Structure 1
Amino acid sequence: MPLRRAAAGFRHCRVWPMVSILPGVHSAALNPSFCWRAGVAAVAGLSLTAAFPKASVAGLAWVAPALMLGAALGTDGWTAFRLGYIVGLVHHLTALYWLLFIPVRLAPVVGWLALAGYLALYQGIWVWLSWRLYPAKLKADGLLACAEQFLAVPAFRRAVWALSSAALWVAGEMIRARLLSGFPWNLLGVSQYQMLPLIQVAAVTGVYGVSFVVVWFAVALMGAGLAMLRPPERRQSWAIEIALPLACVLAISAAGFRRLLEPEAPARTLKLALIQPSIPQQMIWNPADSATRFRQVLALSEAALAHRPQVLVWPEATLPGLLRWDTNHYGDSSLAEAVTNLVRRHQVWAVVGADDAEPNPKASEGADFFNASFLIRPDGQLVATYRKRHLVPFGEWMPLARWLPWLRTWTGVTGDFTPGDRPVPFRLTDLGANTSVLICFEDIFPHQARQHVEPETDFLLNLTNNGWFGESAAQWQHAANAVFRAIENGRPLVRCANNGLSCWVDTRGRLHAVFFPDSQDIYRAGFKLVEVPLQPKPAEPSATDDASTTFYWRHGDWFGWGCAGWAGLALGWAWWGRRTYAARQPAEAGLEKESQSWRSYSR
């Protein structure tokens, strides 16, 4: 008896509501029905992870949303949210495992758990709201009974629901790309980066169009699966469920295949040397190793320059100090002199990743610091500087540091970078080439990358350092995200990374120079020589108009915002319908009671 009283008391204490979200803690979570549903949700989460690199089983992305909704079939809203949250938690914990490789104690574990916990909210909310939008109430009195209830809704209304669910998913991705500074890493459409005919639609809709099609088909697939549970003589309806999305997928793929067959014959190319020094993050943080790692970068550069490239490219934060200030030395000269001497000796253009600073008496350290890239002319002059605009929270700036100063000590982020204020074109004048730089994870933001492209831009250039994450899936996932920026903007994208993946992506999304000529190891130190196609010369009319740009570049996230609007209207309509129905029920009940009384009186 005392034990029962204690348990009852625990149920009514304030801790219980916070704990009840966890399967296996709340009594409702212990029933067999929830357990098998949670198992299906976990499988859906693992399927989502396997759809992305390194596994890259793209077909699983077409099944996972169906499993997500199927796991919550016939449940109440809270249970549906929890099951969707399990999907998201399993997916993000396994897909972002490489965060644990950051060489800092404890903080990466907490960050990994917190980020996965936040991102999982999107899957939980999607499952809950998708079933909220369904035009009939399904009761969990058996799978077959739920299937019959589901299929009792007219086919047209089921089709509209499937489209609304896909729009709702895209709305979540649009919010995720912007809320709390945004983190659109591994949007669902990115899992299809190798499905070249399909992903050509990104030139019109952005990556969100690919996500939409995949989710739409998956939701319809769930309906087809439920139809297959019927007796054999009634199973024919499964084809109705997937007919429309399948036709859409085939039409998009056919158009994409035609686009892939269009000849691309560039009038000119640009030869770049991409230096990949593969410097461990611990070495970057250790001032005693500065000379050693800089010497390694110079040696790789000398070897690459022997092949006479037109442009030398170093990745993000290559220099062990500030480039524009004589605060760091290498031998008898400053770092700046060592770099400019190299450039002058070989008469080559250079794009260099390095930190930068500007005096600011109001700043805590007397200066503003930037994560920057520099364009250096063959005569050694610095002609352009781009400063990273989208900083990594808890890595390059510390949220809440004013109120929680202990966060800096705990994470090791002792100071903040200052964000840049605009894209900066890098114009290689005598080569007739123009590029624009994206630093670190800036190339995963579709709306930001679009801002870096002008009609005369020849290619995008991403400088990044994924050495934080060891030799993991992070490098492959980052490159997969970058594929869509090339398609969306109709410009090649060149990637120069510290420890992979250095390569370039053409305007159709094909990856080039993925591996070194003598090795399949993408993480090793070395250099790659690539020839990137350029736009027609500025003297030609087509180079200055919008003919060479894409619909997405001209109109932005019209599709994503359209889906967000559609989802909002669908949710508003569903809310209004339920409210109207609830208000009508008492009146109808009163009329029924009055009618029964009148009939009784008449008799």
Structure 2
Amino acid sequence: MASRLDLRTLSAWLAATALSALGWWFGSGVHPLWWLTWLAPLPVLWLAPRVHARWAALAAFVAYAAGGFNQWSYLHDYIGIPMTTIVPAIGGPALALVLVVLLHRRLLSQGQTLAAALAPATLWVALEYVSSRLSPHGTFGNIAYTQMDALPVIQVAAVTGLWGISYLLLLLPSALAVQVSPRATRRGRLSAGAAALLLGAVALGYGSWRLQVPATSTLRVGLLSLEKPIRPALDSDAGQDLLARYVTAIGHLADAGAKIVVIPETSFATGDASVPAFAQLARQRSLILDAGIDFKGDPQAERNMVMVFQPNNMAPATYAKHHLVPGFERQYTPGQDYRMLDGSPRIGLAICKDMDFHDIGHAYAARGAQLLLVPAWDFSIDGWLHGRMAILRGVEGGFAIARAARSGRLTLSDDRGQVVAEASSEHHDAELVGNLSLHHTQTLYARWGDWFVWLDLAVLLALLRLAWRPA
């Protein structure tokens, strides 16, 4: 195939690149349009067998790098992270798409149509898995999170983890691309189409069924965020004023029937082992009260932790955040232990970024958690995205989530990922109270872990051998 583009081919190259860029711009980032994520790779996959490999690779890179700049304001302006982090955040998916397109193209050139259809999804999932294991941000950036508004789709995470969602997102466009590929065989087209339709139908059928399973119980939960002042010392005038405001507001939630109340991450800084006003309120109102604390009581280790006050316990239950935000939480020592509250329902504790990682979900699923209480602190613009990342851990692990974020979203979600109540604290104080559905669920993903990834890696090895098999 010619290494230069004629005018007609150049027009096709520009159109395909632009369409994929637009699809990725609007189908990814902090507020994605979920249906566009399915279509974003299609134009460059369509292009791949029609141009030289270098042009196919360039189209893939330009499309997803350009589309990835939808995150510039979020990463640069809101979070203020360095360019050494921004470049891989934007360029990583672009490089991944380059590898996906090149493998897809090579298999087509070998006459392996079905393999070419499977290759993009298989390679993409493998790359996402490796990234999640190496990145200090865990699964952040995984394209599965774009589908959080597509409830039947995300139910597959209860079986495969979020990896199954990513797989479907690449399988459909690649199966469509081979249907019109000039190098595809008729038999290969039929096989690829049948495979995509079958897997899609099974996933949607399972998801629709799972959403109809009734809850076994409900629990009334309140969430509350008072935005200012930020992390005052508890014994300061500002801290005492904020404490009094919280006590009053929590009382109102209790009047509305809340049995559990969660307030945001590091709402107060203190070296004391308890907050007497919260302990008294929990006893008087028969509440479980989860409060985020910047704990300075250990001279050897400052901790980002929660104190959970319960009606019948003198001392609060505590949990220290495991996964700290690089560059922002260097003063803290990470926690090592998991914490379940006594009694029923089975309630576990986590904090904000912990929910970006699978170890937290696996640990609490193994402990039979029905509900996780998650104080958090977001960056205003990413409230929807970061909240939905936590919600997907609940789908994978089979537990509901009560998450209260400063500068983000307050969300109550069941173990199907259904948000039953939500309020925004992105620019102001917020509170809510709602009835949270609970299930007794042990998901296949909780029992078998990343089995789908290991299967995916085995298939990828077979595809690579096929792609470079001697003629």
Common fold: TM-score over 0.5: yes
On the 8 A contact 1:388/1:420 being kept in 2, the answer is yes
- How far residue 312 of structure 1 moved from its aligned partner, in angstroms, is 2.2
Asked whether 1:450 is paired with 2:362, we answer: yes
Matches within 5 A, 1:53-68: 55-68=31-44
Name 2:66's counterpart in structure 1. Answer: 90
Q: Find 2:260's aligned residue among 306, 311, 316.
A: 311
Name 1:127's counterpart in structure 2. Answer: 97
Quote the Cα distance in structure 2 between the aligned partners of 1:175 and 1:317.
32
Name 1:492's counterpart in structure 2. Answer: 400
Quote the Cα distance in structure 1 between the aligned partners of 2:75 and 2:242.
24
Unaligned runs of 5+ in 1: 1-27, 103-107, 138-149, 326-334, 360-365, 398-415, 537-547, 582-603
Query: Which 10-residue stretch deviates more, 62-71 or 216-225?
Result: 62-71
Letter in 2 for 1:369: E
Provide the alpha-carbon RMSD of the alignment: 3.6
Decide whether aligned partners of structure 1 residues 42 and 441 sit closer, same or farther in structure 2, where only a CA change above 3 A counts: farther
3-state SS of 2:346 partner = strand
3-state SS of 2:350 partner = strand
Deviations 1:326-349 (A, max 9, x none): xxxxxxxxx823332333443422
Decide whether aligned partners of structure 1 residues 382 and 95 sit closer, same or farther in structure 2, where only a CA change above 3 A counts: farther
Quote the Cα distance in structure 2 between the aligned partners of 1:561 and 1:278.
44
Name 1:47's counterpart in structure 2. Answer: 23
Quote the Cα distance in structure 1 between the aligned partners of 2:114 and 2:289.
54
Decide whether aligned partners of structure 1 residues 527 and 380 sit closer, same or farther in structure 2, where only a CA change above 3 A counts: farther
Q: Find 2:221's aligned residue among 272, 279, 300.
A: 272
- How far residue 480 of structure 1 moved from its aligned partner, in angstroms, is 2.4
Quote the Cα distance in structure 2 between the aligned partners of 1:81 and 1:483.
35
- How far residue 110 of structure 1 moved from its aligned partner, in angstroms, is 4.8
Deviations 1:445-482 (A, max 9, x none): 2343222223532212221111xx23x2x111122223
Decide whether aligned partners of structure 1 residues 110 and 387 sit closer, same or farther in structure 2, where only a CA change above 3 A counts: closer
Decide whether aligned partners of structure 1 residues 562 and 115 sit closer, same or farther in structure 2, where only a CA change above 3 A counts: farther
Asked whether 1:506 is paired with 2:414, we answer: yes
Quote the Cα distance in structure 2 between the aligned partners of 1:424 and 1:83.
48
Decide whether aligned partners of structure 1 residues 523 and 531 sit closer, same or farther in structure 2, where only a CA change above 3 A counts: farther
Decide whether aligned partners of structure 1 residues 54 and 393 sit closer, same or farther in structure 2, where only a CA change above 3 A counts: closer
- How far residue 61 of structure 1 moved from its aligned partner, in angstroms, is 1.2
Name 1:600's counterpart in structure 2. Answer: none
3-state SS of 1:426 partner = coil
Quote the Cα distance in structure 1 between the aligned partners of 2:49 and 2:81.
33
Letter in 2 for 1:338: A
Name 1:525's counterpart in structure 2. Answer: 429
On the 8 A contact 2:366/2:446 being kept in 1, the answer is no
Quote the Cα distance in structure 2 between the aligned partners of 1:300 and 1:223.
58
On the 8 A contact 1:322/1:356 being kept in 2, the answer is yes
On the 8 A contact 2:76/2:86 being kept in 1, the answer is no
Decide whether aligned partners of structure 1 residues 383 and 121 sit closer, same or farther in structure 2, where only a CA change above 3 A counts: same
3-state SS of 2:295 partner = strand
Letter in 1 for 2:270: L
Decide whether aligned partners of structure 1 residues 99 and 56 sit closer, same or farther in structure 2, where only a CA change above 3 A counts: closer
Quote the Cα distance in structure 2 between the aligned partners of 1:282 and 1:74.
58
Greater gyration radius: 1
Decide whether aligned partners of structure 1 residues 159 and 573 sit closer, same or farther in structure 2, where only a CA change above 3 A counts: closer
Decide whether aligned partners of structure 1 residues 134 and 93 sit closer, same or farther in structure 2, where only a CA change above 3 A counts: closer
On the 8 A contact 1:460/1:493 being kept in 2, the answer is yes
Asked whether 1:341 is paired with 2:280, we answer: yes
Letter in 2 for 1:206: G
Report the number of matched residues. 465
Deviations 1:317-367 (A, max 9, x none): 111x12635xxxxxxxxx8233323334434221111122464xxxxxx42
- How far residue 557 of structure 1 moved from its aligned partner, in angstroms, is 1.1
- How far residue 562 of structure 1 moved from its aligned partner, in angstroms, is 2.3
Quote the Cα distance in structure 2 between the aligned partners of 1:78 and 1:374.
56
Deviations 1:202-221 (A, max 9, x none): 11101110110110111122
Deviations 1:572-592 (A, max 9, x none): 5545x3xx56xxxxxxxxxxx
Unaligned runs of 5+ in 2: none
Asked whether 1:248 is paired with 2:199, we answer: yes
Asked whether 1:422 is paired with 2:337, we answer: yes
Q: Find 1:260's aligned residue among 211, 219, 225.
A: 211
3-state SS of 1:177 partner = helix
How high is the TM-score relative to the length of structure 2?
0.85
On the 8 A contact 1:78/1:128 being kept in 2, the answer is no
On the 8 A contact 2:30/2:71 being kept in 1, the answer is no
Deviations 1:283-330 (A, max 9, x none): 99xx885455444433322322333422222121111x12635xxxxx
Quote the Cα distance in structure 1 between the aligned partners of 2:415 and 2:436.
11
How high is the TM-score relative to the length of structure 1?
0.68
Asked whether 1:558 is paired with 2:451, we answer: yes
